[in-house]
Amino acid sequence: MANHTAVPARRLEGRTAIITGAGSGIGRASVERFLAEGANVVAVDIDGAAAEATVAAADAGERAVAVTVDVTDAAAVQRSVDLALERFGSLDVYYNNAGLPQVAALVEDVDDETWRRAIDVNLTAIFLAARIVVPIMKRQASGVILVTASMSGIRPRPQLCAYTAAKGGAVVLARQLAIELAEFGIRVNSVNPVSTDTPMLSQFGSGDHTTAKATPIGRLGRADEIAAAAAFLASDDASFITGSALQVDGGRGI
C-alpha cells in the first residue's frame, strides 16, 4: 500500500520505541513511520518472520530489530523490553498495537475461547506491558504508552461483542493509566481507527463495517494514516495530550 501521508521533521530522533503487531498492517506502517521520524524501533510480532520482513523492508540498518513475541506472554514481553534497553539504552515509547479480530457472530454463537482470546490479546496484553514498562519510564521521568483501540470500543457495532468489549476496555485502561502516571511524566493515549484496509479486515467477516460504507468520508482508513496519528502522539507535538482517545475514523464517531 502506498504511503500518502507526508512525513514531517524527525520528531522522534534518538528515541526508542517498541511496536507490537509489527508484521503487517498498522504495525508495519508504524514501524516505517517511526523510523522515518528518527526513532530506533524494536518490531514485535507473534509471527517473527513477518516482523523480520518489516525490518528488512524498512532498511534502517542498526536502528531497527525484530523479535518474536506473544504479547499475552509476560516473559516474552519482558525479553523485548530487555532487548530495547540493551540495544538502544532507553525505552521511550511502548506502542500496544497487536490486536485480534473477531468474526462477526451473534452473542449466543460466541464460544468461550473466542471471548477469552479477544480479551487476552486486545486488553490484558496492555496491562501486562504496562506492568513491565512503567517502572522503567518512572525512573526516566518520561515515556509514552500508546494503544491501538478501535472506534468499535466507543461506538459498538452488532455481532462483535468480544472485540468491542476488549477495545472498549482498552480505551478506558489507557485513560486510567494516563491519570495514574501523569505525575511521573508518562503520557498514555489510544488511537481509535475505523475499519482500515489491512490484512486483518477480512477476518471480521462480511458486512458494512468492512466496506467504504463504514465512514461518512466514504472509504476505509489506511494504515499509514493510523501510523501518522501514533507518531504524533509519541512526539513532543503532543506533549500536553494524555488520556486522549484520538478518533482516526473518517467521521464514524459523529
CA dist., res. 252 & res. 254, Å (int): 6
Instruction: State yes or no: is 95 an active-site residue.
Output: no
In the set 163, 186, 190, 222, the catalytic residue is 163
Question: Kindly report the CA angle at 93 between 13 and 90, in degrees rounded to 5?
Answer: 70
Question: Kindly report the CA angle at 202 between 197 and 204, in degrees rounded to 5?
Answer: 110
Longest dimension (CA), the chain: 50
C-alpha cell at 133: 514498562
202 and 104 in contact (C-beta within 8 Å)? no
CA dist., res. 80 & res. 46, Å (int): 12
The total of other beta-carbon atoms located within 10 Å of residue 247's CB is: 20
**Across the beta sheet with 93-96, what order do the strands follow?**
64-68, 40-45, 16-19, 93-96, 143-148, 186-193, 245-248
Annotated active-site positions, please?
163
